[in-house]
Amino acid sequence: MSTNPTLEIRNLHVAVEGKPILKGVNLVVRKGEVHALMGPNGSGKSTLANALMGHPRYEVTEGDILFQGASILEMDPDERARKGLFLAFQYPTAIPGVSVANFLRTALTARRKEMGEEKPMPPKEFRALVKEKMALLKMDESFAGRYLNDGFSGGEKKRAEILQLAVLRPEIAVLDETDSGLDIDALRIVSEGVNATVGPDLGVLLITHYQRLLNYIKPDFVHVLVDGRIVKSGGAELAHELEKLGYDWIREGAAA
């Protein structure tokens, strides 16, 4: 495992429409690690995800985000994605007219180019790759021909994102509330897909409100975000404490 941080968040302050949301977040995620970021509603979890991907509504007012040792603040979202930073959104957007397979092929070609592979993956090889990853996620092969997220159920949208993760093989994946809207079966399948994708070449920042996702995806580190700051960090056991005791004891400790 590399000792160099792949993603480093330094003293990050973010405002939305002039209102401060993040107030000095520090976090390092290396390849091969799974970090869970938990916190009550309104603590700034999704703001952090959007700031990491460069959403224009989220203004970085102080601090920096480093990816592979270089600041990405001036990069647009597309460039960040090509570099190997992946974000699975809480509410994925539908793209009528663009099939899942075509979207994946375009994204993979851009990612390969960034990694020095000038030629697109041969069609036969690409089809075999997508078929293999869809089998992993228990997805019917007809799914590849459907328009991306158009008429998808909540579970299908999440599976489509984990399929992207499996095919594109980024360096860091930020999964924002991946468990929202999933029934227990879909949650298990999506979690198995994440677990099968995680390895020494992928670092994961898992943003979640509930501990239930962490029953399936075991984090190496758990961080608690309250009022725009990480106020406590620990191992997987911290998530179980939060499940039992809620966030009030953390809030009280942070205010003391």
Taking the CA atoms of residue 207, residue 209, residue 215 and residue 218 in that order, the dihedral angle to the nearest 10 degrees is 30
Q: Does a structural domain hold residue 115? A: yes
Q: Does a structural domain hold residue 145? A: yes
Q: Does a structural domain hold residue 1? A: no
Q: Does a structural domain hold residue 26? A: yes
Q: Does a structural domain hold residue 46? A: yes
pTM of the model: 0.90
Q: Does a structural domain hold residue 184? A: yes
Q: How far apart are CA 226 and CA 80, in angstroms?
A: 27
Tell me the pLDDT tens digit for each residue of 176-206.
887 777 888 888 888 888 888 888 889 999 9
User: What is the CATH number for 222?
Assistant: 3.40.50.300
pLDDT of residue 79 exceeding 90: yes
Output phi, psi for 172, to 5 deg.
Answer: -130, 130
For residues 198 and 34, the answer to whether their CB atoms sit within 8 Å is yes
Q: Does a structural domain hold residue 125? A: yes
Q: What total number of domains does the chain contain? A: 1
Tell me the pLDDT tens digit for each residue of 25-74.
999 999 999 999 999 888 999 999 999 999 999 999 999 999 999 999 99
Tell me the HSE value of 87 on the side-chain side, using a 13 A CA sphere. Answer: 21
Q: Does a structural domain hold residue 92? A: yes
Residue span of the structural domain in which 37 resides: 7-255
Kindly indicate the confidence band of residue 4, based on its pLDDT and cuts at 50, 70 and 90. low
Q: How far apart are CA 21 and CA 52, in angstroms?
A: 14
